[in-house]
Amino acid sequence: MHEPAAIQDQIPENHCYGCGPENDRGLQIKSYWTGEDETVCTFTPSPHHCAGPTQYLNGGIIATVMDCHTICTAIADGYRQAGRATGTGDKIWYATGKLDVQYRAPALIDEPVELTAKILERSERKTHLQCELKSGGRVCATADVIAVRVPDNW
């Protein structure tokens, strides 16, 4: 069961191309908690998100949705660790320190892709996450991500 609100809809003032509700030309992905350390996201590609062959999803878009899904997970986790509801009180921001994507199989352009993110480890300054992206029922990409806490004027 998903929590009622997407993580991105609780984070204020986010203009990010991949996950910002304020970016009307962006991808506007939505992520949801499914467990204490796990989130999911479903992204439906548009035809112009294609790779060279029109039936496959562009690798940069794959990296972007994995980046945004994991960093938003780290941000929401930061609020949880602080004992606050996401988006309340002083802002908590994380930026991508490392995004290591393995492309394992082509992802289809005409089907939604399913992402999961898992928090492996957290400290005050950084969160280590793993992300998996599935298309057509098979794992097409995995990513190892370091989210680094940054000041809210970053």
Ligand X SMILES: CCCCCCCCCCCC(=O)SCCNC(=O)CCNC(=O)[C@H](O)C(C)(C)COP(=O)(O)OP(=O)(O)OC[C@H]1O[C@@H](n2cnc3c(N)ncnc32)[C@H](O)[C@@H]1OP(=O)(O)O
Contact set with ligand X (CB under 6 A): 11-14, 16, 18-19, 67-68, 71-72, 75, 91, 93, 95-98, 123, 125-126, 146, 148, 150
Minimal distance, residue 121 CB to ligand X, in Å: 10
Minimal distance, residue 45 CB to ligand X, in Å: 18
Q: 57 or 71, CB closer to ligand X?
A: 71
Residue 151 CA to chain centroid, in angstroms? 20
Q: Which residue is nearest to ligand X (CB)?
A: 97
Task: Specify the amino acid at residue 153.
Answer: N
Decide: residue 26, CB within 10 A, 0-12 exposed, 13-18 middle, 19+ buried. Answer: middle
- And the tokens for 108? 């289809």
Q: 29 or 106, CB closer to ligand X?
A: 29
Q: 33 or 106, CB closer to ligand X?
A: 33
Q: 33 or 93, CB closer to ligand X?
A: 93
- And the tokens for 75? 């941000």
Q: How many residues does the chain have?
A: 154
**CA dihedral over 95, 84, 123, 38, signed as positive or negative:** negative
